[in-house]
Structure 1
Amino acid sequence: MTQLEATLKPAAGGIAQITNLGLCDLAIERALSRSANLPGLVCFYGPSGYGKSMAANHVANSRRARYVQAKSVWTKKHFLKAVLFEMGIKPGGTIPEMADQVAEELAVSGRPLIIDEMDHLVDRNAVELVRDLYESSQAAILMIGEEALPNKLKRWERMHGRVLAWVPAQPVTTGDARQLTSLYCPRVKVADDLLMRLVELSHGSVRRVCVNLERIQEEAMLAGKDVMDLALWGKRELYTGEAPKRRA
C-alpha cells in the first residue's frame, strides 16, 4: 500500500478522504520532511471545483498549520494581519514589523503556513513578501491556487526556483464519488453506473459531484427509493455547471 492509498480511508469526522485530500497532505509532508538544504515551498494547484480548499482546511487541522485564504482585495498589510490573527499575535504598526513577527513565529513554532487562493497575492504583487517570510523562517509553506499559478510564478525567478514540489490536483474519480456519497447522499445507495455518469458530467469537479449527489438523495426520497441507478434516474437532469437553456 502506498502512502497516498493509506490516506484514502472512508469518510470520517465530516470529511471524505478523496484523492486530492491525500495529495494536499503529501505536498505539505514533503516540505516538512525535506532535507535541510532543500527549499520548503510547495505548490498545490488545479482548476476551480477540484476540492483544493476543502483539502487545505482538513490538512491545516491535522497538521496544526496556520491557514489563510487570500481575498482579491487584500493588500500586503491585510495579508500579514490575517496571518498574525491566525497566530493570535497583535500586529505591529508597519509592514516590515508584521513580516518579522510572522517569520519569527513560523521559525520558533515549526508549524507550516498554508496560503489558499495564492493567485490573489500574485495579482497584488505580494509574491516577494511570501518569499521573504520563507527566507526569514525556513518554514514549510504550502501555496494553493488555480491551474495557471505555476506559470504566474515564473515571473519571479527567485520564488519559482525555491519551490520544492509542484503538485497538480486531480480530477474527481468514481472512487472519490463513492467516498462523497457518505456525506452528500447517506440515505440512498447510488449504483456505480450512476456514479460514473456523475463523474463524466462533472468535468473533473468535486463540487459538481457533490451537488448532484444531494440532488439524487432528494429525488430518491421523494420517490420512496433507497437505491438509485442510472435506469431509475431516467431522464432527470443532472447538474453540469451550464446555465439551463431557456424554453420558449
Structure 2
Amino acid sequence: MSQSHSIGKGLQPLTNVALMAELIEKLNSRKFGMPGFGVFHGPYGYGKTYSASFALNMVDAVHVSYVKGWTVKHFLKSIARAMNLPPLRKSAQWGEYMDALIDALRSSGTTLLLDEVNLIVKQELFMETIRVLGDNSQATVVLIGTDELPQYLQMHGALSSRCTWCPAQPSDLTDARMLASYYADGVTISNDLLEIVVNRCTGSARLICKELVQIDEWAVAHGFAEVDAATAGHIDFSESNSAPIPRKGLKV
C-alpha cells in the first residue's frame, strides 16, 4: 500500500507512512467486538510522529503527544481540546472528562493517535485510562512510542492482549530518494551516495534528512549540480549527526 503526503513541492510515499495507514485501516475495518488498539513502535527518528500527522489527512483522527509532567487529567483535557469538545467546568474531575471523551469518541468514530506513550507506559493509571477509553467507546486507538514500548506494555496484560503490533521500519533507498527530492532539491544525488547516507544513518529518516540538507547546502555553495560518493568525500558529515566534543581550555 503506497500512501503519499505532500511536504512542499513533492509527494512523498514513505514506508512508515504506508504502514501507519495500513494499521489504521485494519483497525477501523475490524469485526464487531474485536479490540481496536494498535501499537506503532520504533526507534527515535524513524518518522513515527510524521506518519501520525499524515493520518490526520487520511481519516477522522486526532493526534496528541504526551508531555512529561502531565497528569492524567491534563492528558484527557488535551485530547478533549484536540477533539474540539466544549470545555467542562474548571472543577471537573478526570472521571468527568473520561465520560465526555467516551461519548464523543463513540458518536464520532474518531481515531485516537496517542504519541510518546513510552513516557507513561510504566504508570498504571495512565494505561488503564487509555484502555477504558478505547474499550468503552469502541474507538480505534493507536499508541505510538519507542521500540521498548511493546515489552513495557506486557506489564499491563489487560491492554497488551488487546493490541495489534506494527513495528516502524528503517528508511531504505527508495525513501531516501523521495526525501532527497524535497530536502536536497537543489542538487542531483547519486544512488551510491544515497546508499552510504542510509547506511550511515542506520535508516533514521530524521538523520537522513539532516545529511541531505547538508549535501544540498554544500553543493549549492560550491557550484555542484550533481554529487556522488566521491565528491561527497569533501563534506564533513560529523557536524550533522555527532554531538560536538568538549573544547579544551574553556573556563566554565
Q: Same fold (TM over 0.5)?
A: yes
Matched, 1:34 2:33: no
Show the counterpart of 2:53. Answer: 57
| 8 A contact 2:27–2:36 mirrored in 1 | yes
Q: CA deviation at 1:247?
A: 8.2
Identify if the C-alpha distance between structure 1 residues 238 and 13 changes in structure 2 by more than 3 Å, giving closer, same or farther: closer
- Structure 2: state its 5+ residue gaps: none
Distance 1:231 1:149 in 2: 40
Show the counterpart of 1:200. Answer: 199
Give the alignment partner of residue 12 of structure 1, picking from 6, 18, 28. Answer: 6
Describe the SS at the equivalent of 1:144.
strand
Show the counterpart of 1:130. Answer: 130
Matched, 1:220 2:216: no
| 8 A contact 1:84–1:91 mirrored in 2 | no
Distance 2:100 2:84 in 1: 11
Distance 1:80 1:142 in 2: 15
Matched, 1:185 2:184: yes
Q: CA deviation at 1:124?
A: 3.8
Distance 1:68 1:183 in 2: 27
Describe the SS at the equivalent of 1:20.
helix
Describe the SS at the equivalent of 2:38.
strand
Provide runs of 4+ in structure 1 moved above 6 Å. Answer: none
Show the counterpart of 2:157. Answer: 157
| 8 A contact 1:81–1:91 mirrored in 2 | no
Q: CA deviation at 1:87?
A: 1.2
Q: CA deviation at 1:74?
A: 1.1
Matched, 1:91 2:88: yes
Show the counterpart of 1:70. Answer: 66
Describe the SS at the equivalent of 1:49.
coil
Query: Which string of whole-angstrom CA distances, capped at 9 and with x for unpartnered residues, describes residues 19-73 of structure 1?
Result: 0111111111111011113110000000001010011111123212011011111
Q: CA deviation at 1:243?
A: 2.5
Distance 1:61 1:109 in 2: 16
| 8 A contact 2:64–2:78 mirrored in 1 | yes
Q: CA deviation at 1:83?
A: 0.4
**What code does the residue aligned with 2:135 have?**
E
Query: Which string of whole-angstrom CA distances, capped at 9 and with x for unpartnered residues, describes residues 152-180 of structure 1?
Result: 111111001111x1000001111110010
| 8 A contact 1:177–1:209 mirrored in 2 | yes
Distance 2:53 2:224 in 1: 34
Describe the SS at the equivalent of 1:57.
helix
**What code does the residue aligned with 2:94 have?**
I
Q: CA deviation at 1:134?
A: 0.7
| 8 A contact 2:218–2:235 mirrored in 1 | no
- Structure 1: state its 5+ residue gaps: none
* Structure 2 counterparts to residues 223-242 of structure 1, below 5 A: 223-239=222-238, 241-242=241-242
When normalised by structure 1's length, the TM-score is: 0.92
Q: CA deviation at 1:236?
A: 2.0
Distance 1:58 1:158 in 2: 29
Show the counterpart of 1:210. Answer: 209
When normalised by structure 2's length, the TM-score is: 0.90
